[in-house]
Structure 1
Amino acid sequence: MKGPGNISILLVDDDVDDQEIFLLTVRDTGKEVDCEFACDGIQALQKLGEGAYAPHVIFIDINMPKMNGMELLAELKQDPRLRETPVYMYSTSDQKEIVTRCMELGASGFMKKTPDIDELRREFIQVIDKRPVS
């Protein structure tokens, strides 16, 4: 349920199962959170380009069709309206070279997808608590 004091999150991930796990985990944090989803970078840019939608935090999977996560991250960091929005890469791939490249492109951090729901919840809480207050 959307509310004026809620934290707005966008997850860009082509895997519907991962979207569902993300949503359940975020809801389990006890925080008031509104989640939106996009299945690839193109859909995310369309959603972000519509009206005044600007989430508090964006999570992006790296491996997606049409436009991958690093390409989307680079696009977001070129947009003056979204440049300061925290963007976290959320992926199963955590190779050092990939993480380094994401950070060079402007990612705020990197979260590895894990089956450990407690670990995911702790990481989400840390990210949500660090977000800029609007």
Structure 2
Amino acid sequence: MERLKLKVLLIEDDAIEVMKLKRAIKKLELDHELIEAKNGEHALSILKDHELIPDVIFLDLNMPKINGLEFLKILKQDEALKYIPTIILTTSSNRKDVLSCYSIGVAGYIIKPLKYEDYVAKIKVTFDYWRMNQLIKL
């Protein structure tokens, strides 16, 4: 498979979760560029001038300031940003959260598994899928 380098925006307030994704990317020997935002507010400031547009966004739901759902609603109202595939990466298996995210227009909903090996496997499948997709370049 072609090794397409993705520009990935990770919106996550937990430093351990950020480190876990970085470790998974390294373990999978992927060359993706990871841009970090500590919460939805920080992510909006990164995206606001449209100079840095990610190919894919990984979004946690439970964050301070602007949570994942609030961020998603704002993102989907922006004509330039609403087409960026956004994947929820969360511990919440709450059916209401899942339904809310899909109704707003999320591209996927991944529940973080407890075992690291399972986490890496889910991240691999997700990256493999998005590397094969035709992504919109703004």
TM-score with structure 2 setting the length: 0.86
Write out per-residue CA displacement over residues 84-123 of structure 1, whole angstroms, 9 at most, x where no aligned residue. Answer: 1110111111111111111111111111122322222222
Q: Verify: 1:117 aligned to 2:90, yes or no.
A: no
Structure 1 runs (4+) greater than 6 angstroms displaced: none
Q: Verify: 1:77 aligned to 2:62, yes or no.
A: no
Alignment match, 1:28: 27
Alignment match, 2:88: 89
**Over the residues paired in the alignment, what is the CA RMSD in angstroms?**
1.5
Alignment match, 2:63: 64
Is contact 1:70-1:102 (8 Å) kept? yes
Is contact 1:14-1:39 (8 Å) kept? yes
Cα pair distance change 1:87/1:51, threshold 3 Å? closer
Alignment match, 1:17: 16
Instruction: Tell me the amino acid that sits aligned with residue 45 of structure 1.
Output: L
Where 2:89 maps in the other structure, the secondary structure is: strand
Hey, what's the Cα distance between the residues in 2 that align with 1:45 and 1:64?
14
Deviation at 1:51, TM superposition (A): 4.5
Alignment match, 2:44: 45
User: What are the ranges of 5 or more consecutive residues in structure 2 without an aligned counterpart?
Assistant: none
